[in-house]
Amino acid sequence: MPRDLLVSTLDALCVDLAHRCGDRVALLDGCQEITYGELTDQALRVAAVLADSGVRPGARVVLSGRNTTDWVCIALGILCAGATVVPVGHGVSGPEYSRILDVTEPALVVDQPRIADIMAAARTTAPHPDRPAAGPDDIAVILSTSGSTGVSKQVPMTHGQLSRLYSAVADRLELTSADRVIGAVPFAHSFGFNGVLLTAMCAGASVRVVEHYDRADLADVIVRDRVSVVMGPPTILFDLVGSGRDDIGLVCRMAVSGGSEVPLDRMRGACRELGIVNMVVGYGLTEACGTVAMGSITEGESGSLAMLTPVDGLEIRIVDDYGYPLPPDEDGHVLCSGYNIMHGYLRGVDDPESTPDDAVDGDGWLRTGDIGWSDDEGHLYIVSRAKDTVIVSGFNVYPQEVETVLMDHPLILEVAVIGVADQRQGQRLVACIIPVHGYSVDSEDLIDFCKERLSAYKVPRIFVELEMFPTTHTGKRSREELRKQVSQRL
Give the three-class secondary structure for 344.
Answer: coil
Give percent above pLDDT 70 in the chain: 93
Identify each DSSP E strand in 363-483 by its residue range.
Answer: 366-374, 380-385, 390-392, 395-397, 412-422, 426-435, 462-465
**Upper half-sphere CA count for residue 384 (Cβ side, 13 Å):** 20
pLDDT above 80 for 37: yes
pLDDT above 90 for 384: no
Find, among 159, 158, 115, 207, the residue nearest to 11 by Cα. 159
pLDDT tens across 191-228, in order?
Answer: 999 999 999 999 999 999 999 999 889 999 999 999 99
| pLDDT of amino acid 386 | 84
Find, among 430, 330, 423, the residue nearest to 390 by Cα. 430
pLDDT above 70 for 115: yes
pLDDT tens across 307-343, in order?
Answer: 999 999 999 999 999 999 999 999 999 999 999 999 9
| pLDDT of amino acid 233 | 85
pLDDT above 80 for 6: no
| pLDDT of amino acid 299 | 58
Residue pair 467/440 in contact by the 8 Å Cβ criterion: no
- Mean pLDDT, residues 416-442 taken together: 87
pLDDT above 70 for 56: yes
- In 3-state terms the chain splits into helix, strand, coil percentages (rounded to 5) of 35, 25, 40
pLDDT above 70 for 464: yes
**Using 50, 70 and 90 to split pLDDT, how confident is the model at 1?**
very low
Q: At what angle do helices 36-52 and 10-21 cross, to 10 degrees?
A: 140
Global pTM exceeds 0.75: yes
- Provide the mean pLDDT of the chain: 90
pLDDT above 70 for 351: no
The span from the CA of 29 to the CA of 383, in Å, is 38
Domains of the chain: 389-489 (3.30.300.30)
**Using 50, 70 and 90 to split pLDDT, how confident is the model at 486?**
confident
Residue pair 402/460 in contact by the 8 Å Cβ criterion: yes
| pLDDT of amino acid 355 | 42
pLDDT above 60 for 306: yes
- The alpha carbon of residue 329 and the mean position of all alpha carbons in its chain are separated, in whole angstroms, by 27
| pLDDT of amino acid 354 | 39
